[in-house]
Amino acid sequence: MIGEFLSYGFVQRGLLAGSLVAVVCALLGVFLVLKRLSLIGDGLSHVCLTGVALGLLTQTSPVYMSIPVVLAASLGVLKIMEKVKIYGDAAIGIVSAAGLALGILITALAGGFNADLFGFLFGSILTVDKTEVFLCAALLCALLLFLLFFYRDLVAASFDEAFACTRGISVKRLNAALIVFTSVAVVLAFKVVGIFLISALIILPPVSALLLSRTFKQVLWLSCGLALASVWSGVYLSFVFNIPSGATIILINLLFLAGAFVCSRLGRGYTKKGKKYAD
Amino acid sequence: MPGVIEAQGLSFKYTRTLVLENISFCIEEGDYVGLIGPNGGGKTTLLKLVLGLEKGAGKIKLFGVPQADFKEWQKIGYLAQKSPVSQTRFPVSVEEVVLMGLCYDSAHKEPTLANLKEVYRALRQTRTRDLAKRIFSDLSVGQQQRVLLARALVSKPRLLILDEPSAAMDAASRDMFFDLLGELNQKHGVTILLITHDTGEVGKYISKFMYIDKELVFFGDKQAFCQSKKVAEKLGSFAQHTIDHLHNNGHCPLGCQCEGVHGGVGHYAAHGAEAAHGGSTAPLKEKADRPTAEKTDAKAGAGFSAAGADAPSPAKDESHNAPALQPNADDIAPTQTADGGQK
């Protein structure tokens, strides 16, 4: 069964793209969750709707059309946070609402919803083409290089932005880089899990990993592991039971989160007991 | 010799609200400056401007270098009022948090043995050595604050900037904390700029006061501070609390050894309060009379602070009760007011 499943080219491409995107989202998600910016994935995914609608309207690739639109929106979030002095979640909400409203308006002007748009909303991992796989690989490479060079700065800035500034770390540039990476990841991820579920791929694996890990590096590794496991098992189950892959991936991530929560509670109880006996 | 912090014409506003206006001062090496003022007076904003966390109008030099060109951030240790992660689980150990205080040549470089030695020196200084392997976010808020002080000290800074750091600490930790700051200042010559409302506790170590209330009201040594009319007028707005604090305790809450223990700020505060209360002076005068009797007990030595060790003689007390009831605007050295910004 598994052999047959892996023999299809579209399945191979889907799994590869899904794995690459999942790792990117899992890595970025750790920093975004700790910086309380995790909902940026949700906000930017709504902006994707504008890009997709523009792509469908102009008969160009919705993915390529979405990249500049979402990049512009992400920079808008940064500017609003900086200039208007409001919290990140409100800035994300503003851009998200604008993106969604524009997307709906353009879709209506283009003649309403159709099957193509439905595929983008709920994901269609098996329709990923070679160029998109290549883009996902390029994004992961760029992100790994970025983490390699700025890992300590990113951890310090995620922990305490103000103090990081007093160490000469350019927190604004790091934040901008993180958000730009997130924008591209969001666009490439919407075929894997769909526009509505992208933020779950950014939030769920890191949160599960945070519950189980004691060091920052453990969180990064575990987050990637859980994201990969969810994509592989999700795509396989969707193939076997003929169910939507995006929703299956997210539900598996929710199961992982529940498991992580139970494990962390048991572990904490054990530690408390140990302490009690030690006392 | 250039000052450690030189500020000229600092102003800052949030949209249309003016937070700070035309503030100039120079903090010299070895100074221990207590930055005080009412809530919303702009103290934290001033620290943020000095550290470059906010951008405003005016010029700032750090160690003689314009702030924009300043690169030697390891010379500055900073401790904020609140821990950055009080509720969230953040997966870094205490050791890693303190390591963040060191400036590395390269962001991805692993810490060396020398770096770790510095970390453990700082942890020992703040008596948090036994917490080194614990997860930072699992600690109590007071413990977190001591660890963050270790982070501020790990790079052996020449300037410490602290924003109400003792707010979450218990009494023992607070004593240890202020003793450590005093030692760093007196033995190692570390310059300290500290926002505090706890003037009684920390007053014994502070050498200068800076009073900010949107503008620089006062900057100078603490003796002059206690006798400053300008400060007293400002303190008048907190009248009741200030007077209780001053007179019921029977000694200067700033820990200064000013001759006019009960005639300085307390006296002027009373007058400020009178003005604030529209001339209804009776209760205030009643309170102002109280310490005269209580001072004798205080001088007897029971529970007096370090600052009160040199309690004034009865003769001095009498002499200072008189001016306490008759303020004299000339008793403030003009060079120590905010106008010039310098002492």
* A166 at interface of B, judged by CB pairs closer than 8 A: yes
Q: Which residues of B touch A213 (CB under 8 A)?
A: 91
* B13 at interface of A, judged by CB pairs closer than 8 A: no
Q: Which residues of A touch B5 (CB under 8 A)?
A: none
126-155 in chain B: CB under 8 A from chain A: 135, 151
Distances (CA, A) of A278 to A82, A265, A273: 50, 20, 8
**Angstrom distance (rounded) from CA A160 to CA A171:** 10
Give me the residue from A159, A164, A210 closest to B89, CB to CB: A210
* A177 at interface of B, judged by CB pairs closer than 8 A: no
Sketch out chain A's domains with CATH numbers.
Answer: 2-196 (1.10.3470.10)
Minimal Cα–Cα distance from A45 to chain B, Å? Answer: 26
Give me the residue from A34, A148, A168 closest to B103, CB to CB: A168
Give me the residue from B52, B71, B85 closest to A165, CB to CB: B52
> How do the domains of chain B map onto residue ranges?
5-213, 224-334
* A60 at interface of B, judged by CB pairs closer than 8 A: no
Distances (CA, A) of A245 to A122, A182, B144, B328: 9, 22, 44, 83
Reported as a pLDDT band with limits 50, 70 and 90, residue A239 is: confident
As a CATH number, domain B5-213 is 3.40.50.300
Q: Is the pLDDT of residue A208 over 90?
A: yes
ipTM at complex level:
0.78
DSSP B221-235: EHHHHHT-HHHHHHH
* Per-residue model confidence (pLDDT) at position A80: 81
* Per-residue model confidence (pLDDT) at position B6: 93
Q: Which residue did the predictor score with more confidence, A159 or B281?
A: A159
B96-136 pLDDT tens trace: 999 998 865 555 567 888 888 999 999 998 888 999 999 99
A155-188 pLDDT tens trace: 999 998 888 988 888 888 998 899 899 999 988 8
Instruction: Using the CB atoms, write b or e for A175-191: b if 16+ within 10 Å.
Output: bebbbbbbbbbbbbbbb
Q: Is the pLDDT of residue A254 over 70?
A: yes
* B18 at interface of A, judged by CB pairs closer than 8 A: no
Reported as a pLDDT band with limits 50, 70 and 90, residue B281 is: very low
**Angstrom distance (rounded) from CA B234 to CA B47:** 21
Exposure of B185 in the CB half-sphere (CA atoms within 13 A): 24
DSSP-assigned beta bridge partners for residue B220: B209
B229-246 pLDDT tens trace: 777 777 665 444 444 454
DSSP-assigned beta bridge partners for residue B218: B211, B337
B30-53 pLDDT tens trace: 999 989 888 888 899 999 999 988
Give me the residue from A34, A152, A211 closest to B107, CB to CB: A152
pTM for the whole structure: 0.76
Q: Which residue did the predictor score with more confidence, A21 or B87?
A: A21
For the ranges A37-46, B272-281, B317-326, which has the lowest average pLDDT?
A: B317-326
